[in-house]
Amino acid sequence: MGVTKMGVSKSLPEYQPKPNPELDKPWRKFVWGQKEALKKKLENFSPSDPNVNDIKILVAGQVGAGKSSFINSIDSVFQGRISSRALVNTADGDSRSFTQKIKGFTIRSGRKTLPFVFKDIMGLEAAALTGSQTDDIINAVFGHVKDGYKFNQEQALTYKDQHYTSDPTLSDQAFCLVYVIDADTVQFTDDKLIDKLKIIRKRISDQGIPQVVVMTKVDKACPLVNKDLRKIYTSKKIKEKMELCSTKIGVPLTNIFPVKNYHEEIDTEDDIDVLILKALEQIVQIADDGLLDRESY
């Protein structure tokens, strides 16, 4: 019940215009027609260091955040059809289980294998008390973890293990750490998880390894965007979510890329493709720049 100039309104709540959920102008410039150009650019990419065959990208994030879907979506863009290779390949039985074996995942376009390798590491869980997960992730970034290693929640990999590489070469190392964050649930991210991310961030940024956030499920987080993906940069909700990602994860907004993954579609769509390609282009670019920086150490 509110008191207005007109007196006391009894039955109906006071009329308040709903704030417009949409901005007048996009807050980030985005060219929706650049799909083919981005695709070509990525197909022709090669690492600026001739000693490096491919750009290794480590993908981390909570179980269910959309890591496998993101890798599948990239694959789908280049295949021109919906792919589910990452789901089949990296999950060890139950796709929601912790115990995943680390394995490189390459992307192909036609017959060409692109020079990017994705490694999907196990889900970060706030509940795990020990630091084993953070240690494992840090070790994986620095190239100490061999393919085939099964992450173990209770115990971090030690140098005695057969899957431990004590003297990794540049090619064993990851050039970028990608956190996959669910836009729909980012506000509920546990503080314990944030603390873990802080430790990881500190250790790896000391070594010049860049970090990027891919914010998934924008369609679930915002009804406007669900209806029209092109509203992604005019949606106030999405902007808010990205800012939240930035403060929680400690990654600047410029390193956060919102995407909608393929999850129930049966055909690829240009607008979904172009957002995925843009995220990949930026990841690859940032990783490659970091690689150059590291050589000058």
- The structure tokens listed for 40 are 């070509």
- Report the relative pairing of strands 211-216 and 176-182 from DSSP bridges: parallel
Which residues from 68-97 bind ligand GDP, rule CB under 6 A?
A: 68-69, 95
Instruction: Give the binding range for Mg ion (CB under 5 A) out of 34-42, 66-74, 192-200, 230-238.
Output: 66-74
When the beta carbons of 64 and 143 are compared against ligand GDP, the nearer one is: 64
Instruction: Give the binding range for ligand GDP (CB under 6 A) out of 39-47, 63-71, 250-258, 284-292.
Output: 63-71
* Residue span 171-210 as binding mask against ligand GDP, x where in contact by CB under 6 A, dash where not: ---------x------------------------------
Spatial distance between the Cα atoms of 247 and 55, rounded to a whole number of angstroms? 27
Cβ-based neighbours of 168, under 8 Å, separated by 6 or more: 142, 143, 144
Which residues from 31-60 bind ligand GDP, rule CB under 6 A?
A: none
Tell whether residue 216 is a contact of ligand GDP (CB under 6 A): yes
Tell whether residue 68 is a contact of Mg ion (CB under 5 A): yes
Tell whether residue 217 is a contact of ligand GDP (CB under 6 A): yes
CB of residue 164 vs Mg ion: minimum separation in angstroms?
24
Tell whether residue 241 is a contact of ligand GDP (CB under 6 A): no
* Residue span 141-160 as binding mask against ligand GDP, x where in contact by CB under 6 A, dash where not: --------------------
Residue 130 φ then ψ, to 5°: -75, 165
CB of residue 190 vs ligand GDP: minimum separation in angstroms?
16
Tell whether residue 63 is a contact of ligand GDP (CB under 6 A): yes
- The structure tokens listed for 58 are 């480590």
- The structure tokens listed for 99 are 């115990």
Tell whether residue 115 is a contact of ligand GDP (CB under 6 A): no
Tell whether residue 219 is a contact of ligand GDP (CB under 6 A): yes
When the beta carbons of 157 and 276 are compared against ligand GDP, the nearer one is: 276
Q: Which of 263, 271, 282, 285 lies at the binding interface for ligand GDP (CB under 6 A)?
A: 263
Residue ranges that bind ligand GDP, judged by CB under 6 A: 61, 63-69, 95, 123, 180, 216-217, 219-220, 260-261, 263
Residue ranges that bind Mg ion, judged by CB under 5 A: 67-68
